[in-house]
A = this chain, B = another copy of it.
Amino acid sequence: MNGAQALIGSLTGAGVDVCFMNPGTSEMHFVAALDAVPEMRGVLALFEGVATGAADGYARIAGKPAAVLLHLGPGLANGLANLHNARRAGTPVVVIVGAHATGHVRYDAPLQSDIEALARTVSGWVHTSGHQRDLAQDAMRAVAAAQAGQIATLILPADVSWTEGAAVAPPRPAPPPSAPAASQLSAIGQLVTGGPATMLFLGGRALTERGLRAASRISAATGTRLLAETFPARLERGAGLPSVDRLAYLAESAETQLAGTENLVLAGARSPVSFFAYPGRASDLVPAGCAVTTLAGRDQDVEAALEELADLVAAGTEPVLAGPALLPAEPGPLNAVNLANTIAASLPEGVIIADEANTSGFALPMALAGAPRHSVLTLTGGSIGQGMPAATGAAVAAPDRPVLSLEADGSALYTIQALWTQAREQLNVTTVLINNAAYAILRMELARTAAGGEGGGKAGERAGRMLDLSGPTPDFTQISDGLGVPASRVTTAEELDKALRVAYSEPGPHLIEAIVPSIAPPPDAGAW
């Protein structure tokens, strides 16, 4: 068999049996090998950022990596932004980048560039395979590296792919998470008994059902406050689970949430910092004088650590679970609040929500706290254009779960091509495209610039035009129909409710364009 066949056969043997791809000429032997190894499911994306974002969403739901196939340096470059988000999520991804044949590199042909340099900016593991004999082993090292919660990039020269004499390699065992030090446990046990001056800051796998239940027991028994990171890779939520607020995006709101904390205990989360710097404001959100202690890092078994801590300080107790509760959705023209409450009212049990609603989504966390149980995937790395690809990948990972893609107009237009893949694969994704005809978050930031009195002064007309998506306002129903996803437009809560119920009841993808006026979220608006 040739290199490509051995590579794909080894990947599927290791459980990596989905490949999101946007191939080119140098990948043609990989593509051809899909017929020799039918266990591999190839999913075509029309833009590389869709493929990489889909791999991120897939792994967050499937709990195992997908492969991505990209075309030389420029193909990798187009996929980097969503690999950045995946890196910040700690998502395992196996990236395969086709390259020129080893003997062709010296000619500096038009598509030649430094693929390794690009790959290293997002990857924990990078290797250029040098020989078809070693390729399958290289791939198994890549899978094992990815399973540690990082991006592993395998660069595949065309001749290594096309040459005969390769063989399938067996999978390597996945690396186990390292255990937290037992000696910390009793010290942290002391801290959490201090009551509300201690805060348990949850991230990563602390936000699974297991992690949340243990954290809730600790909080209920000791008075320790709980807070989740702003943008979790995956958060389990809804009725029947403990409800934990997320740290606000805006630094001033976050400071309010963290005020009075004397001991911050990190459980799978990094110490909180502001998303951006602003003139005269601190980047570090930890209150002055507050001590920071780590219960478990992202590479450690945080679920087990939380359970051990719960057994230490809250033996025999039960977690506090959110009951089913829906906030009334005011009828009439849509706004950010009745939009959120309407979404909650029709939410199917077990839905996966890919949340890239940005400013338009500020009322969602409150609305969804008592909705049927769901998983939330968020924009971990801040690079917009992640939501629709992630929803696509999540739907591939869980064909039996509905996927709700909450998307903002500005973000949607980075990777709108995801709709085509949803149509091609007939994925059960319902997109609510919230159209406010603006980069609303930047309008808010520009206003903050002006209000701060530093430099910019009052925001002017020419600046405002750079953040305005009207003139022309994109028509997402036309764009969606054009990409093969049936679409409708709604302007009221009643229309949205009806359109959502239709979309959930029919197989395949749907898009609902929700026209919502642009407003700034209130300062106390949860994650925003």
Q: In the complex, what distance in Å separates the CA atom of A521 from the CA atom of B293?
A: 66
Return the contact of A413 from the options B47, B231, B441, B457 (Cβ within 8 A).
B47
Contact between chains at B417 and A463 (CB < 8 Å): no
Contacts of A450 in B (CB 8 A): 32
A501 nearest CB across to chain B (Å): 24
- Known interface pairs A276-B158, A424-B472; A2-B482 also in contact (CB < 8 Å): no
Contact between chains at A24 and B163 (CB < 8 Å): no
Contacts of A473 in B (CB 8 A): 484
Q: In the complex, what distance in Å separates the CA atom of A450 from the CA atom of B28?
A: 10
**Which A459-492 residues sit within 8 Å CB-CB of chain B?**
459-463, 465-467, 469, 471-484
Contact between chains at A469 and B32 (CB < 8 Å): no
- A sample of 29 inter-chain contacts (CB < 8 A) reads A23-B442, A28-B449, A33-B456, A34-B460, A36-B460, A42-B465, A44-B465, A77-B81, A78-B80, A78-B385, A80-B80, A88-B110, A101-B277, A101-B283, A103-B277, A107-B273, A107-B274, A107-B284, A108-B273, A110-B275, A117-B121, A163-B454, A163-B455, A164-B454, A416-B417, A472-B484, A478-B478, A478-B479, A480-B482
Q: In the complex, what distance in Å separates the CA atom of A314 from the CA atom of B141?
A: 64
Contacts of A274 in B (CB 8 A): 104, 107, 109
- Known interface pairs A81-B77, A84-B77, A482-B476; A456-B32 also in contact (CB < 8 Å): yes
Q: In the complex, what distance in Å separates the CA atom of A456 from the CA atom of B471?
A: 50
Contact between chains at A73 and B84 (CB < 8 Å): yes
A218 nearest CB across to chain B (Å): 27
**Which A34-68 residues sit within 8 Å CB-CB of chain B?**
34-36, 38, 42, 44, 46-47, 49
Return the contact of A483 from the options B21, B73, B103, B474 (Cβ within 8 A).
B474
A416 nearest CB across to chain B (Å): 8
**In the A-B complex, the 4 residue pairs with the closest CB atoms:** A35-B460, A472-B484, A32-B456, A478-B482
- Total interface residues in chain A, CB < 8 Å: 111
Copies of this chain held together in the complex: 2
Return the contact of A24 from the options B29, B284, B442, B480 (Cβ within 8 A).
B442
Q: In the complex, what distance in Å separates the CA atom of A358 from the CA atom of B469?
A: 31
Contact between chains at A114 and B104 (CB < 8 Å): no
Contacts of A23 in B (CB 8 A): 442, 466-467
Contact between chains at B121 and A455 (CB < 8 Å): no
Q: In the complex, what distance in Å separates the CA atom of A35 from the CA atom of B457?
A: 10
Contact between chains at A162 and B454 (CB < 8 Å): yes
